[in-house]
Structure 1
Amino acid sequence: MSKPEITFKAGAVRASVFKNIIISNGKSLTLPKVALEVRYKDNKTGQWKGTNSLSINDIPKAILALQQAYEYLTTKKDSSDNTGNNYTSQ
Structure 2
Amino acid sequence: MVGKAYELRLYVAGKTSKSVAALENLKKLCEEHLKGKYSIEVIDLLEKPQLAEGDQIFAIPTLVKKVPEPVRKIIGDLSNEEKVLVGLDIRTKINN
> Is the shorter-chain TM-score for this pair beyond 0.5, marking a shared fold?
no
Q: Of Structure 1 and Structure 2, which has the larger fraction of its residues in strand?
A: 1
Q: What is the TM-score normalised by the length of structure 1?
A: 0.27
Name the TM-score, length of structure 2 as normaliser. Answer: 0.26
Give the structure, 1 or 2, with the largest relative contact order (CA under 8 Å, sep 6 or more): 2
Q: Greater helix share, 1 or 2?
A: 2
